[in-house]
Amino acid sequence: MEAGGVPQFRYIVRIANTDIDGSMKLVYGLASIKGVGYSTGLALVRMLNLDPEMLVGYLTDEQVARIEEALLDLTKLGLPNWMYNRRRDYETGLDMHLTGSDLILYARRDIEREIKMGSWKGLRHKLGYKVRGQRTRTTGRLGMTMGVRKSREAKQQEKR
């Protein structure tokens, strides 16, 4: 805090192990955290009675601590369960909202479980194909592009 009671501006604010640009609006800054989108960020800001239009750089240390505490367990805020990114967890059966590396870890474990089960999705993951029903005839190819071969005459004319 400065002498006039106005919070000092910080160019980088660290929230939930993510560096956020201080010049961003609060909702968009929260949306840059993995696992938090715009609507979740807006709901979080409204539940904590913060101004969604304020810049992240003007947050006080106490406000940052409140945001981090809320992000650790969004279920305590009383948000509707359709806003969580992991409803009815496979192992525990609980509704959770994951952020950061936890989200990546759980997604990887889900894929490994599908592969181990031998389900169709697991097989597609194992082979490196598209999983969600997209077409693969023309897209999703790996390696060099296949094109029309040039004739020897055309190659010689290019060299000239």
Distance CA(59)–CA(21), nearest Å, equals 12
Fold of 12-83: Helicase, Ruva Protein; domain 3 (1.10.8)
Residue type at 47? Answer: M
Does 156 have pLDDT greater than 80?
Answer: no
16 contact partners, CB below 8 Å, separation of at least 6: 33, 36, 67, 68, 71, 99, 100
Give me 72's structure tokens: 């650790």
Does 59 have pLDDT greater than 60?
Answer: yes
Tell me the pLDDT band of 6, cut-offs 50, 70 and 90.
low
pLDDT at 147: 65
Where do the domains of the chain lie?
A: 12-83, 100-135
pLDDT at 3: 52
Does 63 have pLDDT greater than 80?
Answer: yes
User: Mean pLDDT over residues 51-72, rounded?
Assistant: 88
* Of 11 and 4, more confident: 11
Closest by CA to 99, choosing from 79, 65, 73, is 73
How many CB atoms within 10 Å of residue 40?
A: 22
